[in-house]
Chains A and B, each alone.
Chain A
Amino acid sequence: MLKRSLLAAVAVGTLMAAGAAQADTVKIGYIDPLSGAFANVGDSGKRHFEFFAEKINANGGLNGDMIEIVAFDNKINPKESLIQLQKAIDEGISIVVQGNGSSIASAIIDAVNKHNRRNPDEPVLFLNYAAVDPAFTNDRCSFWHFRFDADADMKMEALTDWLATREDLGKVYIIGQDYSFGKAVQAAANRMLAAKSPEKEIVGDELHPLGKVKDFSPYIAKIKASDADVVITGNWGTDMTLLVKAASDAGLDVPILTYYGGGLGTPTAMGDTALGRVMQITEWHENVEDLGLEPLMDEFEAEHEIDFYYYRVRNLMNMLQKAAEKAGSVEPAALAHALEGMEHETEVGTITMRADNHQLIQPLYLSTFSDDVARDVENTGYGFKTDYRIEGPATSTETSCEMKRPS
């Protein structure tokens, strides 16, 4: 992929030296992995941002200013992300977007807060499109951070709402990776199940080291022995795939509720072993309903040859455009004020950016991996099929956020 050619970089350098007064472009810094094991995920996000930047530019841009997406490779490493953030600020960028990895988002939130405190004249706004640690909109909430994906707790609210409707699924087994996210999922599942359906029995609650298990058969044997009716897991990547493969091998035919069953590469690796078994909770998937988005998806997929995945990037960009219009400016503080409490009409309904903690409230969908779908993922012939839609307000959680706004 072309990032920037040497010449372009030199040109940018001279332009900046000559006085960075060119006001007709607004640069958005995209900080995500573009090399290494997660490069494809980062590349997919980048293509979505570029696609919608073009759409907005064709539609008048941000108050007439054209958006340019500038990509920075953070190698999915927190320290490297901070170096790339400094580079972005050097290029005069005041809006950054990032999504992959809560550890990265955490580092960026922290760095942006400090930067804005230490350099009040050149603040930076951080729009998070995928990092789901609930802390970002609770204890660690920041005026400069907005999240456009539902957080892990909200998704668990949705999962447990659905579980409460299924009386036949009485025994629940929770398994996850032994680190912050896996533990957060474990805690949320325990808490919400106890509150919503106390009659359900948690027959297993298990953690395993992150990315170290090669064969999940022993875990599946345990799940089988516990007689569980449903499995909840926060696993992603290989840990997710291997779990599903082992379940299929042992004939474990219970639903596996996941966060990342549709993560890039996972459907390919799981293949038919996941059919009818893997369910995922997301804000959107390609077979949601007949919403008239087909032409848009077709256009994206024809142009980029990858699946259309980040509907929320569209929401993010459209809301950004709207905020710029409302504020009459692209200055970060003005944009942040305009985004607070903003309501936005979309194909899936009205979505709202909460003013009290900067979390987007949107409907969520629970779907099952199936071979009976109109649009497949990763050319597997399989895709996700909606089982249940949870309305936005039902996913909303209490927040412990005490927002500090700059005076």
Chain B
Amino acid sequence: MLGSVDFQDVTVIADLEAGIGTLTRLAEQRVDAVLVVVEPTPKSLEVGQRAAALARDKQLGRIVVVASRIRGDADLATVAGHFPGQEIVAIPDDPAIVEADRKGVAPLDLAPDAPAVRALCDLARSLLPVPA
């Protein structure tokens, strides 16, 4: 559906099935941006690398690696090492996100000024279309 529907003036954010199965089946050039979300663990990075490679092969537009739960420079360096030359956005490890998950509420509502939430808002703003 993501590839075949004419979305007119709607912006679609698709939270895909975990893993790369859906991405594998996505036709080429069918999205404008791919956010590859990883955390600094070997398994997550491995999935992320495969996702980024697929996204490149299928020319799925701008690829941003979203490095989650970053605790410091070492974590960021680990992620960067797995995605040379890629645009990377660091989202700090943030207890506010954990608390929102525990309470079953939106992080944006619970803690709009939390560092991780602000970093995600900055990421979103970087996706805004540039005025013609």
Q: Do A and B bind each other?
A: no
Binding site for B on A (CB under 8 A): none
Binding site for A on B (CB under 8 A): none
